[in-house]
A = this chain, B = another copy of it.
Amino acid sequence: MMITEHSTIIKAELPVGDVHAGMEVFYNPVMASNRNISILLLNSIENTQMNICDPLAGSGIRSLRFLKELNKDKIKQLYVNDMKENFKEVFNVGLKLNKLKPKNVSLFNQDANLFMQEHIGFDYIDIDPFGSPNPFLALAVARISRGGIIAVTATDTAALTGTYPKVTPRKYWAVSLKNYLMHEIGLRILIRKVQLQGIQFDKALVPILAYSKDHYFRVYFRNEKGKEKCDELIKQHQYFLYCNNCFNFKTSVYNKEKCSCGKEFVFAGPLWVGKLFDEKLLEKMVENNPFPEEQKFLELMLGEAKVNQVGFYDLHEIARKLKVDPPKMELALKKLKAVRTHFSTTGIKSREKQSSFCSKN
């Protein structure tokens, strides 16, 4: 069938049932937002004349949209790859359908890692696989240029959020947390895992935009080369300590500490305790956004960026524990000088201490 996503039309099938890796070329409408934001982000950063790499192109929709919607000075060369047998055919049909005759597109039909191995370097690499990005991280990190951007999607959120607690240490080298904070904790575990791959080669992958949406995580990293910058990242790899008794939480280089209430904290991590957002970039994105359906979400993140806190409070969780009615969101935000968080509709980020927050007044 014919499908239109913003500027671009493609011929593909809609998935029937759950999306999985063995499927034929298909179009995943849930990921339209993922692509929207990648276009907006690339149009909002200063990088131009980029060698852009789409190694797991699938239907090719992202690259086709890049050709249509990225500012003219953004693409030096677009490298589009997928290992599906008929990929070049499919992509060429896409070019025709959209009346595109670009001179700066190189098509490949290889294993994604072999494709990246055979090239020298890219200024933007989009790792957008089914499931875990793990198999592609080593090569993406090896091939990203100084100042370049790596974008990583993970759709295996269950592996990061503690649904199967043994999976997180295996796939993401950290301990997950199975409570209302699991999405933020999972995202931060993913960030550290990607960063470790870079740090060993003196590539400091600094998150400029990281979020949880629908059933996936998405992180954009800027590659800032240098040992000192890597040391700075390592300082921000810490444990997250959570008190099951009194909602208190904190970050620490230690994984065993006592809460002020006297109980032992449980720990998650190690994970990234630094910023999830480059606030200035988000401001630009909010300003320049051509996708109305993303506006609320972008504004939510921009608000969240004002309070740099790891973890948040959930009004409903706290009300349940205190056996009171949940406070009104607007009231709580005002009273606690707090901001909303995109991780939860009932969550707030606040620099106020937990003690003042948990009082019943």
From the candidates B173, B201, B255, name the one contacting A255 in the complex (CB within 8 A).
Answer: B255
Query: A47 on the interface (CB 8 Å rule)?
Result: no
Query: A318 on the interface (CB 8 Å rule)?
Result: no
Q: How many copies does the complex hold?
A: 2
**Chain B residue with minimal CB distance to A202?**
B170
The interface size bin for chain A is 20 to 34
From the candidates B142, B170, B171, B199, name the one contacting A170 in the complex (CB within 8 A).
Answer: B199
0/1 interface trace, chain A 77-109, chain B, CB 8 Å (1 if under): 000000000000000000000000000000000
What are the residues of chain B within 8 A of A255 when measuring CB–CB?
A: 253-256
Query: A196 on the interface (CB 8 Å rule)?
Result: yes
Query: A326 on the interface (CB 8 Å rule)?
Result: no
What are the residues of chain B within 8 A of A118 when measuring CB–CB?
A: 114
What are the residues of chain B within 8 A of A234 when measuring CB–CB?
A: 169-170
Query: A29 on the interface (CB 8 Å rule)?
Result: no
Query: A49 on the interface (CB 8 Å rule)?
Result: no
What are the residues of chain B within 8 A of A173 when measuring CB–CB?
A: 196, 199-200
What are the residues of chain B within 8 A of A201 when measuring CB–CB?
A: 134-135
From the candidates B139, B231, B254, name the one contacting A256 in the complex (CB within 8 A).
Answer: B254
Complex alpha-carbon distance, A171 and B172, angstroms: 18
Q: Contact check, B166 vs A231: say whether CB atoms are below 8 A apart.
A: yes
0/1 interface trace, chain A 176-207, chain B, CB 8 Å (1 if under): 00000000000000000000100111100000
0/1 interface trace, chain A 219-241, chain B, CB 8 Å (1 if under): 00000000100110010000000
What are the residues of chain B within 8 A of A257 when measuring CB–CB?
A: 256
Pairs of residues from A and B, 3 with the lowest C-beta to C-beta distance, nearest first: A138-B138, A254-B256, A117-B117
Enumerate chain A interface residues (CB-CB to B < 8 A): 113-114, 117-118, 134-135, 138-139, 142, 166, 169-173, 196, 199-202, 227, 230-231, 234, 253-257
